[in-house]
Amino acid sequence: MTAGAPGVAVARPAHLPPPARAFASSFEAGQPAPDWTSTPERASGVDGGYATGGLPGEVTDRVTGVRASAENTAGGEVKENLADGEPSTKWLTFAATGWAEFDLDAPAAVTTYALTSANDAAERDPADWTLSGSADGSTWTVLDSRSGDDFTERFQTKTYPLAAPAEYRHFRLDVTKNHGADILQLADLRLATGGSDGPVPPDMLTVVDRGPSGSPTAKARAGFTGVRALRYAGRHTASGRAYSYNKVFDVNVRVGARTRLAYRIFPQLADGERDYAATNVSVDLAFTDGTYLSGLAAVDRYGFPLSPRGQGAARNSAGNVYVQGLKVDGRTWTSTSLPHSLLAEGGTLEFAMGPRPSAWGSGKNAAPVSITRDDRVPTPRTDALTGSGALADNTSGTAATVSGAVALPSGGATKAVQYTLTSAERAKAPTGWRLEGSADGTTWKTLDRRSGQTFAWDRQTRAFDVGSPGRYARYRLVFDGEVRLSEVELLS
């Protein structure tokens, strides 16, 4: 069994034991491991010079494990984000200080490291920290210390040289102070050897690592639930077509007319790694009679050739511009719209494309739900708030800490039918409150009451219907305790 991008032959023993009826591997612990690592059967114009983001000699892709003092699991702001090469993800802990430890697959002589600031709230950035190294994960040696450091931009990567190369397998970042918040966050930590670690590997890499993390067009780890996967990576060095077919598994499986070959490819483009518009890939099978699946006119379930070039041409050609079908997380999907819940949670969309229009999306219930009936012009609700300050400035980039009754000036008598609250920090989001209305500012009527509410992530906007709407000159929210919000809207 091979993976490549195209044409392969796999040597076979002259005499084989009786074939099995099935073979599978998810590359996890206890699953079959590859028989070959970074071993091409046939290749041209490809080498193994892959790096995630541009630090000379970067070894972050060799991280096999991450531990941390704490993390925001519910919000997806977990420790693994520190080593995913994606500035759009981050590690967050609800404390002003924290630590994270990283295990490499083997010791590396690190000469440089880099930190990347997260997406928001500069006051959460690290200010004071130490980087330490360890041979056994227990005894630590301080390699670098920083005090009063500052990130001037969001998603900014700053590089820090070590006084001398430090060859360790385990590294620890210990942040002892941030810039004043009671929350600590960081997008990435990267480790590098400075580029003096020998020549570029001559062959395309096929190695087992911790699995895909995300890309500029995909939510982090969406569609992938494991902790190991086979990574293929390299550089296109030829001026024209290039390819590499790498051997992976030496299997002995009987293949018949009803045999099913299934695999998933997770594209991963680390930040800065956008040199190639597309890389086509497929899994091939080599048979004992010297033939290969890709050479037997085999096709996938959509009728496209089972070869790297065939798969790429089928889905990316200028002629195949019409959707033939769609699967969402493996389920057939006939609607032309997706619900907000799916977009918020992440999922895998699998489109089948073709050169001619199809019946997909033409069913009675396939069109998106209209916000109006017949041909009526939409009249969207508008925000009636006229106040100033963080809660009424129409941006979630600011926030305010409030408690008790908070006035919601509306500029006159208004009938509010809905309102929205946008959290700041999830940990300080409101759980209970009352919306009240008044004609004179003295006598107040409860229009809506909420309790036991939760906000799943920082800066989440939630909408609430007014239980007893009416026309009032004044509105206010009365919170159960001190909370922190980014925005309030009063919709009429």
Q: What is the mean pLDDT of residues 149-163?
A: 92
| pLDDT of 9 above 80 | no
The pLDDT, as a whole number, for residue 103 is 94
CB of 408 closer than 8 Å to CB of 485: no
Structure tokens, 265: 């490819």
Instruction: Round the average pLDDT of the chain to a whole number and report it.
Output: 84
The pLDDT, as a whole number, for residue 374 is 75
Residue 11 main-chain phi, psi, to 5 deg: -65, 140
Q: Predicted confidence band at 17 (pLDDT cuts at 50, 70, 90)?
A: low
* 61-77 tens-digit pLDDT: 788 889 999 999 887 88
pTM exceeds cut of 0.75: no
For residue 98, give the nearest of 181, 166, 154, 159 by alpha carbon.
181
Strand-strand pairing, 471-472 and 414-415: antiparallel
Give the rounded percent of residues in the chain with a pLDDT score beyond 70.
88
The pLDDT, as a whole number, for residue 51 is 55
Cα 261 to Cα 215, 231, 257, 343, distances in angstroms: 26, 19, 11, 29
| pLDDT of 237 above 90 | no
Q: Tell me which of 353 and 285 has the higher pLDDT.
A: 285
Q: Predicted confidence band at 350 (pLDDT cuts at 50, 70, 90)?
A: confident
The pLDDT, as a whole number, for residue 10 is 37
Structure tokens, 153: 């931009």
Residue 283 main-chain phi, psi, to 5 deg: -100, 135
Q: Exposed (0-12), middle (13-18) or buried (19+): which is 5, by Cβ within 10 Å?
A: buried
For tokens 């305010």, the residue is: 400
User: Which residues, other chains included, contact 38 with Cβ-Cβ below 8 Å and sequence gap of 6+?
Assistant: 48, 201, 203, 204, 205, 206, 207, 246
User: Which residues, other chains included, contact 197 with Cβ-Cβ below 8 Å and sequence gap of 6+?
Assistant: 57, 108, 109
Q: Predicted confidence band at 11 (pLDDT cuts at 50, 70, 90)?
A: very low
Residue 250 CB neighbour total at 10 angstroms? 14
* 180-229 tens-digit pLDDT: 999 999 999 999 988 644 567 788 888 887 777 655 555 555 667 777 88
The Cα–Cα gap between 425 and 96 comes to 13
Residue 108 CB neighbour total at 10 angstroms? 22
Structure tokens, 343: 């977009």
The Cα–Cα gap between 383 and 234 comes to 52
Cα 438 to Cα 385, 409, 415, distances in angstroms: 15, 11, 11
CB of 78 closer than 8 Å to CB of 213: no
Any idea which of 226-235, 306-315, 378-387, 438-447 has the lowest mean pLDDT? Answer: 306-315
The Cα–Cα gap between 473 and 408 comes to 10
User: Which residues, other chains included, contact 486 with Cβ-Cβ below 8 Å and sequence gap of 6+?
Assistant: 390, 391, 395, 396, 397, 398, 399, 422, 423, 424, 459
For residue 201, give the nearest of 10, 2, 39 by alpha carbon.
39
Residue 154: alpha-carbon gap to chain centroid = 18
Query: Which DSSP state fits 200?
Result: P
| pLDDT of 5 above 50 | no
Cα 79 to Cα 15, 213, 437, distances in angstroms: 49, 12, 45
| pLDDT of 386 above 90 | no
For residue 324, give the nearest of 291, 353, 345 by alpha carbon.
353
| pLDDT of 20 above 90 | no
* 42-61 tens-digit pLDDT: 999 988 876 555 577 788 87
Residue 98 main-chain phi, psi, to 5 deg: 180, 170
Q: Predicted confidence band at 463 (pLDDT cuts at 50, 70, 90)?
A: very high
